[in-house]
């Protein structure tokens, strides 16, 4: 077993979500959100990180890394699991960040998500967005949704990812996974050609720019179900981010298109559980009702949080309500709840009531 294999094996055995290799420091694991230096390993050197990248990625990606200073790819540890890897330069030497990807796709019902999300997998068309910061569980939720579709329906599912994370095995569905840089040059190009590949469902790793966003919305408009992610905090901010990507003259048009195609926005954040080991998500859920669609079309996005608050009966949920439930059920501490609340004072009053 190589040093890298030994390091990653220990990370998986200890339940680490991330591994950081920075020259001049000991290897660092992120275990349940906390960083922990692995003092029993030797200090990382530039020669080690360069050797590790070459071992995992080969000469072609090493060349790309030297040219572009960043490279994303996936790596597999036989029999244990896979990692999403980012190699990058810092202070003129290579550093590497690993994100652990479990071998098995979790069942959707095991993720402690709002029940409304399970209904989204039966939508025939439209756009569903998973949002939240890096490491909030978006990729896991999307993989679990695809897995549920795979068991329920006979669809053609096409994913375009950077890089491919969970390996999805075709069951009732035919699943194809394309990796950015290896199977397809850009998200926008992959989406453009996807429309000629007879997909029913398209999973797009991230809506990064105008071309990708435009292609995703067009795909949803033409009768496909499109799932994607954004690094935004809440439904209202997500809508504003999408609209602001477009030039001013096109923003009324995109509001109209979004109001017709968007089905739901789910925002996630992960908490370290206090009742046992592990993580648990809090979620804001916005479902596109006629009232939400009117707000998008008429540029009244500031009213959407109130609509979410008053439509709990149909499965909508604010982030603070989700956090409150986790706290009252003993999954997280009041201090954790206050630290992530959108409106800490209001949440404090609700918890003390």
CA distances from 80 to 3, 5, 8 (A): 15, 10, 9
Residue from 216, 265, 203 nearest 245 by CA: 216
| 332, two tokens | 């997280």
Supply the angle between the helices 251-261 and 210-221 in degrees, to the nearest 10.
Answer: 40
- Residue 87's pLDDT band (boundaries 50, 70, 90)? very high
CA gap 90, 319 in Å, rounded: 36
Q: What integer pLDDT is reported at residue 79 of this predicted model?
A: 73
As a whole number, mean pLDDT of residues 114-130 equals 96
pLDDT tens, residue by residue, 34-85: 899 999 999 999 999 999 999 888 888 888 899 999 998 888 877 778 898 9
The model's pTM is 0.88
Q: What integer pLDDT is reported at residue 90 of this predicted model?
A: 96
Q: What integer pLDDT is reported at residue 81 of this predicted model?
A: 80
Instruction: Judge whether 93 and 126 are in contact, CB under 8 Å.
Output: no
Q: Which residues contact 110 (CB under 8 A, 6 or more apart)?
A: 144
Q: What integer pLDDT is reported at residue 152 of this predicted model?
A: 94
Establish whether domains 3-101 and 108-317 are of one fold: no
Asked whether residue 353 carries a pLDDT value surpassing 80, the answer given is no
Domain coordinates of the chain in residue numbers? 3-101, 108-317
Q: What integer pLDDT is reported at residue 164 of this predicted model?
A: 87
What is the phi/psi pair of residue 81, to 5°? Answer: 165, 180
Mean pLDDT of the chain: 93
Supply the angle between the helices 210-221 and 187-194 in degrees, to the nearest 10.
Answer: 20
Q: What integer pLDDT is reported at residue 2 of this predicted model?
A: 85
pLDDT tens, residue by residue, 170-214: 999 999 999 988 899 999 899 989 989 999 999 999 998 999 999
> How would CATH label the architecture of 108-317?
3-Layer(aba) Sandwich (3.40)
Q: What integer pLDDT is reported at residue 104 of this predicted model?
A: 84
Asked whether residue 248 carries a pLDDT value surpassing 80, the answer given is yes
Can you tell me which residue has the tokens 């996974």? 177
The CATH class given to the 3-101 domain equals: alpha beta
């Amino acid at each position: 077993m190589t040093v890298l294999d030994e390091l990653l094996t220990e990370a998986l055995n200890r339940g680490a979500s991330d591994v950081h290799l920075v020259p001049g420091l000991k290897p660092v694991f992120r275990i349940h959100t906390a960083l922990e230096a692995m003092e029993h390993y030797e200090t990382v050197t530039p020669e080690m990180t360069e050797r590790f990248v070459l071992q995992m990625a080969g000469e072609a990606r090493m060349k790309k890394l030297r040219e572009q200073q960043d490279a994303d790819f996936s790596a597999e540890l036989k029999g244990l699991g896979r990692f999403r890897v980012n190699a990058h330069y810092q202070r003129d030497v290579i550093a590497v960040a690993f994100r652990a990807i479990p071998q098995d796709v979790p069942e959707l019902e095991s993720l402690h998500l709002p029940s409304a999300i399970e209904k989204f997998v039966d939508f025939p068309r439209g756009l569903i967005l998973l949002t939240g910061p890096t490491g909030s569980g978006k990729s896991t939720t999307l993989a679990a949704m695809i897995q549920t579709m795979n068991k329920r329906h006979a669809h053609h599912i096409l994913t375009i990812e950077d890089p491919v994370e969970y390996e999805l095995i075709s069951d009732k569905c035919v699943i194809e996974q394309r990796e950015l840089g290896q199977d397809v040059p850009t998200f926008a190009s992959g989406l453009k050609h996807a429309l000629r590949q007879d997909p029913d469902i398209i999973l797009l790793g991230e809506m990064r720019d105008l071309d990708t966003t435009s292609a995703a919305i067009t795909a949803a408009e033409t009768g496909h179900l499109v799932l994607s992610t954004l690094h935004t905090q809440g439904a209202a901010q997500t809508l504003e981010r999408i609209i602001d990507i477009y030039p001013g003259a096109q923003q009324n048009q995109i509001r109209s298109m979004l109001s017709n195609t968007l089905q739901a926005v789910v925002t996630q954040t992960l908490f370290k559980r206090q009742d046992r080991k592990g993580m648990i998500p809090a979620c804001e859920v916005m479902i596109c009702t006629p009232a939400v669609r009117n707000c998008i079309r008429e540029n009244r996005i500031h009213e959407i949080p109130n609509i979410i608050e008053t439509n709990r009966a149909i499965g909508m949920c604010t982030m603070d309500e989700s956090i409150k439930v986790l706290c009252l059920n003993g999954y997280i501490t009041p201090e954790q709840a206050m630290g992530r609340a959108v409106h800490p004072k209001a949440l404090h009053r609700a918890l003390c009531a």
